[in-house]
Chains A and B, each alone.
Chain A
């Protein structure tokens, strides 16, 4: 089943992706004395060609901060975003190319994160997708896989995040959430039934903007599992991970 869904995902990607590839190339005119073209998309690759002021180059593809350009004579090389930002478009307008930075971080809407941590003595891996409603408030959907010494499980939650100081580079946030947790005992132990319960969650965390689209996140939360037995179960969760915004 897992294999089949993975193959389906791959097939979808392969089918959808060519749609991205067919685009008309952007033509730009070099406005600085020259731009440097490298053999590869990176600082270390050697400069093998320069395009002089007034030359028209077409931008064929982008990889992170590097752009592949092709001169009128057909020489293709990689130019950094900083240099391409100094070129002009066909109408003489500045080319709006820049790296994502703090402004984009402050304007971000979608966020995806991965976190690893400790869940009641066991381990947890979480995948989270979030949408920022306002500067302070975001909503998130989270799925975690849990593996402990005596039991394994899954957890899915809907969460509300409040960030009181969104303008700080390292900013604290508070979280409230609820969801469903399924726990199944390890098969090497005595067989007991799987348990599915609802839970509530309250916690606090830190989100730090590192560079471009990249963030670091760490969080503690207290979880109360509303069990069908006499007593509710209380669990501590610590985790840390990385996040991107789109």
Chain B
């Protein structure tokens, strides 16, 4: 009798255990489902994500152009000179510049006084050309006003660099410094006025000396 009651109690305990377990599992399942429901958005917007590409904007950091002016070669007079110019603007203040130019040397006063008896150089040797690689700084940016209705951006800049001069069938390492004034006629076209001193050592007139060769030029450049 006693054992029957014990079996009954055990059975009911087992049944309760099974019920509790099943109920527990079921409720956990519900919780998980609810959690999953919360994670799922109420409205799925179906938006296609775009890849952000760097925009394709016309970058105008290069400047190319030509110039025309005068070159005063120490001892050899002044002559007209022309040049080419390529600049890369690194920041609003700083730029790197490559220039090339050509002129012809005239006669020294010694050659003029002695007549054409003792020329120092042949005609071929009088060809004078140079290239320079310089760094420039837009020192004084500003605007110029012409009349009542026109304003143009401008900058006074300084350059310093070095290069090579070919003259009298020789090459000379040349130190260059100077200043220039740039006015932007339109957004892409600039007008320049430049003064440069080209310094190098030469012994052609009989003594070793450092010559200063001053170049003045007017130029036009185009930003691209």
Contact = CB atoms under 8 A, between A and B. Distances in A.
B54 interface: yes
Contacts of A93: 50, 52
A68 B59 CA distance: 10
A148 to B, nearest CB: 9
A212 interface: yes
A165 interface: no
Interface in B37-73: 50, 52-61, 64, 66
B53 to A, nearest CB: 7
Interface string A108-131: 000000101000001111010000
Interface stretch (B13-21, B109-117, B164-172): B164-172
A44 interface: yes
B53 A10 contact: no
A125 B52 contact: no
Nearest to B85: A10
A122 B200 CA distance: 13
A64 B90 contact: yes
B53 A96 contact: yes
Contact of B52 (A13, A65, A96): A96
B89 A64 contact: yes
A26 B92 contact: no
A60 interface: yes
Interface string A51-90: 0000000011111111110000000000000000000010
Nearest to B208: A149
Interface in B108-165: 129, 133, 135, 138, 141-143, 151, 153, 162-164
A42 B182 CA distance: 14
A79 to B, nearest CB: 12
B181 interface: no
Contacts of B216: none
B60 A61 contact: yes
A68 B168 CA distance: 48
Contacts of B143: 39-40, 45
Nearest to A115: B133
A244 interface: yes
Nearest to A153: B171
Given A59-B55, A96-B54, A125-B163, A65 B171 contact: no
Contacts of B102: 3
Contact of A21 (B58, B84, B89): B58
Contact of A66 (B92, B162, B163): B92
Contacts of B224: 13, 17, 20-21
Contact of B133 (A13, A45, A122, A125): A125
13 contacts: A26-B57, A59-B55, A64-B89, A67-B57, A93-B50, A124-B173, A125-B162, A147-B171, A147-B172, A147-B173, A187-B169, A188-B204, A212-B90
Interface of B: 50, 52-61, 64, 66, 84, 88-92, 94, 96, 100, 102, 129, 133, 135, 138, 141-143, 151, 153, 162-164, 168-173, 187, 203-204, 222-224
Top 6 nearest A-B pairs (CB, nearest first) are A123-B173, A40-B153, A17-B224, A26-B55, A152-B171, A62-B59
Given A62-B59, A147-B171, 16 more contacts: A3-B102, A13-B64, A17-B64, A21-B224, A59-B55, A61-B57, A63-B60, A64-B91, A68-B187, A89-B52, A124-B173, A125-B162, A147-B172, A188-B203, A211-B91, A244-B88
